[in-house]
Amino acid sequence: MTKTRRLFGTDGIRGKANTAPMTAGIALRLGQAAGLMFTHGAHRHKVVIGKDTRLSGYLIEPALTAGFISAGMDVTLLGPLPTPAIAMLTRSLRADLGVMISASHNAYEDNGIKLFGPDGSKLSDEKELEIEALMDSDFGDRLAAPAELGRASRLDDAGGRYIEAVKASFPRGLRLDDLTIVVDCANGAAYRVAPSVLWELGATVIAVGVTPDGFNINRGCGSTVPEYLCSQVVQHGAHIGIALDGDADRLIVADENGEVVDGDQILALIARSWIASGQLRGGGVVATVMSNLGLERLMEEYGLRLHRTQVGDRYVAERMRETGANLGGEQSGHVIMSDFATTGDGLLAALQVLAVMVESGRPASHVCRVFKPLPQRLKNVRFAGVSPLGDAAVKHAIAGASARLASTGRILIRESGTEPLVRVMAEGEDEALVAEVVDGLCACIAAVERAKDA
């Protein structure tokens, strides 16, 4: 029987700040348990900790620090930096463990904890289960003796190290001198490093979402509010707009006309560029079940395969390692390029898009429209208590909807890994039918929910 993770979801631990599981007490115990798990061998053990700009980072960071120190690990504090920077610095600094404190695209009230192994990859489900089991046990006698406690220090040039690593991914000899770029940092973790990278490569940079105050992360800006980016691109007459989320591991683009380019198109653009240069490996691209059928058909045109995984960029990364692929991602804008990083990196992906623009001399509206997407519709239905997906009426409705789309499309129904939501997605060649199917399924799920309260 498969064990269920109690604390960890699809992307670490996440919840409302100062409420279980996102409390100082749980963070302390997590630090102790993870610290004990990753202290093996005679070397001095180290963990690096980064965060985004949420107010509650001041609560979680010292609690984790205390936990790791009590387990005998030295702590290197990196301050506000993107999630991919933490993954990179975990490897670069030869740390045993990396930690990112962030709830990604969520509002400031939430926070989260993501753990990276010494190779910079997110921990597996199995490792997270081990940590949970250890947290539930009595490990007091295994904590460090007074003389073996860890120490904490800050790395002042962490941002500079990440900036140089990102710039190294941009083709030598290319510059961004002729481009005006709007970059929306979501008042989040990349508010300093993202504008700096673009400016140092020669671009005229219009930076927005770069005044974090602890409360405004993702508020009215960032990759989850692309209309703001689009308006800024049009207002400033920019050549392209780049929007990151709160921890900068995802990217959404706006072309010069203020039209949104999603993660599927970004994946397709990079894949086509790498196919031409002979850089693409693994016989295809890895994406999730949410990616558009148009992307899958494009890969087939090149004689390649679209490998699909469950939602979550760490599952994409795992499949990439299994298949030998060096490109994968999600429709939401997570793009993983294993030649450069172990996890999704919005800034790295943006530089690949910009490189194609510079090399081709063509506008974003041209280079970013790689395939024609099939009509796709996604809606969420909130639920309380037991998931409605086990209800007989819902199962019957899903079967009927699948039969209606038949071979012209597909349906995907899943629970969110971070919120009590059922996500209902359908796509197909008939846009009206797709909309009708999604609306009908959502109505059925909502009716089952109302019946619970009756």
Q: Is 104 in the active site?
A: yes
Tell me the pLDDT of the chain averaged across its residues: 94
**CB burial of residue 273 (10 Å; 0-12, 13-18, 19+):** buried
pLDDT at 1 over 50: no
pLDDT at 42 over 80: no
Q: Which CATH architecture has domain 376-453?
A: 2-Layer Sandwich (3.30)
Which pair of structure tokens corresponds to residue 387?
A: 């998931």
Average pLDDT over residues 204-233: 97
Which pair of structure tokens corresponds to residue 331?
A: 């429709």
pLDDT at 404 over 80: yes
Query: What does the domain layout of the chain look like in residue ranges?
Result: 8-156, 161-259, 263-345, 376-453
In DSSP terms, 328 is beta-bridged to 286, 336
Q: Which fold has domain 8-156?
A: Alpha-D-Glucose-1,6-Bisphosphate; Chain A, domain 3 (3.40.120)
Class of domain 263-345: alpha beta
Out of 11-15, 112-116, 200-204, which region has the weakest mean confidence (pLDDT)? 11-15
Average pLDDT over residues 376-381: 92
> Pick the catalytic residue: 102, 104, 196, 332?
104
Out of 10-14, 15-19, 29-33, which region has the weakest mean confidence (pLDDT)? 10-14
Pair 145, 68: CB distance under 8 Å: no
Average pLDDT over residues 372-400: 91
Most confident by average pLDDT, 7-16, 135-144, 204-213, 418-427 = 204-213
Pairing of strands 110-116, 12-16: antiparallel
Tell me what pLDDT residue 5 has.
66
Tell me what pLDDT residue 407 has.
79
161-259 and 263-345 in the same fold: yes
Tell me what pLDDT residue 2 has.
47
Which pair of structure tokens corresponds to residue 3?
A: 């064990």
Task: Kindly state the percentage of the chain with pLDDT values over 70.
Answer: 98
Q: For 430-454, what is each residue's pLDDT tens digit? A: 999 999 999 999 999 999 988 887 6
**CATH code, 161-259:** 3.40.120.10
Distance CA(307)–CA(408), nearest Å, equals 20
Tell me what pLDDT residue 3 has.
56
Q: For 260-300, what is each residue's pLDDT tens digit? A: 999 999 999 999 999 999 999 999 999 999 999 999 999 99
pLDDT at 146 over 90: yes
